[in-house]
Amino acid sequence: MTALGSAISEHVIHHYGTSSLLSRLSDPFWFQALGSVMGMDWHSSGITTSVLGALKRGLNPRSHELGLYVCGGRGRHSRNTPDELRAYADRTGLDGESLVRASRLAARVDNNAIADGFQIYLHGFIVSATGEWTIVQQGLNDSTGFARRYHWHSANVKDFTLEPHTAIVGEPQGEIMNLVAAAASPAQKAILEISRTSPDRTLNGLRKLSMPAHHDVRAYDVDLTRLGAVLAAAYERDFHDFGSLLLLEKLGPRTLQSLALVAEIIHGTPTRFSDPARFSFAHGGKDGHPFPVPLKTYDETIGILQRSLERARIGDTEKLDGLRRLERFVRAVEQGFAPQADFNQAIAREKLISDSLGGKTVSQRDRKRHGSRQLSLF
């Protein structure tokens, strides 16, 4: 996951810059789709920890080159965020105390100003060499076992006290006390009279993404026309041959299927990520839904991404640009032919070829290591 997440991030940075990657990470639909394409359970709260952890391991050793640094994490790692931010600021000339202030304010807003029953246990702070940042936090409701994720992007934060989020992600919990909502202005004024502090101005809306309770991927979780275009490009001979030509790679259909979804993660527009479950058809899920992770295909995907980046560093961008052409090609198939995926058939095919592709789940790996004991998926 570290290798794949890092390669995808570097592709985004190469084509669109660090600011674009920060913007995407602050979009809950893109973030969820990224976790799905990396092989995480498509709807689980573990996506947050795994994606941030993988990016931290993969990007930080090259932070000087990429202009991006990932701080914080889960539990004790979140408490290290101020020191990590100060250290990065010392290396880059940024205002470390300003970054630390933003980190602490975001944590206090989501823990205290939004009384939604969720306690923050994960705090991720991704900062660029120019000082732009994205914050991703996650809280847990002990009574329900559900998690809620909070996304921030510095480009959208005008005032920390008036809805600074780009999104809050989680199951609806009924009415809550949200003191940073625009409608909470009267309550803020009453509090201000007591505390004699002054917030500044309003902020913009709130996007919500709810994840279902079921672990399996179901047909209604997926845009079947979009998935149908990917499968057509991978398996129908005329489309498959042309798709392989666009990448200048001798690809089997299964690898082309994965790359088409990875290409959309890199080049797709925000409207393309309303069904993040679809991206689990790239590399399955570690819980076996919609199918076990095909390790051979996973490695092939990473290899192609890394080789294209290596060629681009010496001025040969043909393979790198091939992913952009592949994304456009699949979109053209979708718009021109509107093929509908046979959802059950697609999953049946994946399960049929799973063993030949090194298909594995967490529980299978754990049984191999520890007998019959199973590893928790969350």
Q: 49-106, pLDDT tens digit by residue?
A: 999 999 999 999 999 999 999 999 998 899 999 999 999 999 999 999 999 999 999 9
* Each residue's pLDDT tens digit, 276-294: 999 999 999 998 999 999 9
Q: What was the pLDDT predicted at 95?
A: 97
More confident position, 244 or 204: 244
Local structure of 178: helix, strand or coil: strand
**CA atoms of 376 and 259, how far apart (whole Å):** 29
250: pLDDT confidence band, cut at 50, 70 and 90?
confident
Percent of the chain with pLDDT over 90: 66
- How is residue 38 written in tokens? 């990396």
Q: Look at 32-46, 118-132, 318-332 and tell me which has the smallest mean pLDDT.
A: 32-46
Q: Work out the percent of the chain whose per-residue pLDDT is above 70.
A: 85
Contact predicate 178/114, CB 8 Å = yes
Res 347 pLDDT > 50: yes
Of 256 and 192, the one with more pLDDT: 256
Residues 6+ apart with CB under 8 A from 278: 33, 36, 221, 222, 223, 226, 227, 261
Sorting pLDDT into bands at 50, 70 and 90, what band is 172? Answer: low
Length of the chain counted residue by residue: 378
Q: Output the pLDDT for position 201.
A: 38
Per-residue pLDDT band for 160 (boundaries 50, 70, 90) equals: confident
C-alpha span between 124 and 103 (Å, rounded): 9
Confidence of residue 17 (pLDDT cuts 50, 70, 90): very high
Q: How much is the pLDDT for 333? A: 94
Residue 189's pLDDT band (cuts 50, 70, 90): low
Q: What is the mean pLDDT of the chain?
A: 86
The phi, psi pair for 138, rounded to 5°, reads: -135, 140
Domain spans in the chain, listed from the N-terminal domain onward: 44-195, 219-370
pLDDT above 80: residue 375: no
107 vs 121: CA distance, rounded Å: 10
Of 212 and 208, more confident = 212
Query: Is it the case that residue 190 has pLDDT exceeding 70?
Result: no
What pLDDT, on a 0 to 100 scale, did the predictor assign at position 137? 95
With beta carbons less than 8 A apart as the criterion, state whether 5 and 34 touch.
yes
Determine the distance from the C-alpha atom of residue 194 to the mean position of all C-alpha atoms in its chain, rounded to a whole number: 41
Q: Which pLDDT value is given to residue 131?
A: 97
> What's residue 62's pLDDT?
96
For the segment 208-234, the average pLDDT, to the nearest whole number, is 85
Q: Give this prediction's pTM.
A: 0.85
**Given a cut of 50, is residue 372 above it in pLDDT?**
no
Helices (H), the chain: 2-16, 18-25, 28-37, 46-59, 63-66, 76-79, 81-92, 96-108, 185-195, 224-235, 237-247, 253-267, 280-283, 295-313, 318-337, 343-353, 362-370
Buried b (16+ CB within 10 A) or exposed e, 262-281: bbbbbbbeeebbebbbbbbb
> What is the rounded distance in angstroms from the CA atom of residue 30 to the CA atom of residue 167?
12
pLDDT at 173: 61
Residues 191-203 have a mean pLDDT of: 41
Instruction: Please check the confidence at residue 162 and state whether its pLDDT lies above 90.
Output: no
Q: How many CB atoms lie within 10 A of CB 11?
A: 23
Identify the band that residue 109 occupies on the pLDDT scale cut at 50, 70 and 90.
Answer: confident
Residues 230, 232: Cα–Cα separation, whole Å: 5
- Distance, CA of 120 to CA of 107 (rounded, Å): 7
Q: Which of 56-70, 137-151, 171-185, 213-227 bottoms out in mean pLDDT, i.e. has the lowest?
A: 171-185
Instruction: Look up residue 198 and give its two tokens.
Output: 């002054």
DSSP H helices in 118-223: 185-195
CB contact at 8 A, 280 and 217: yes
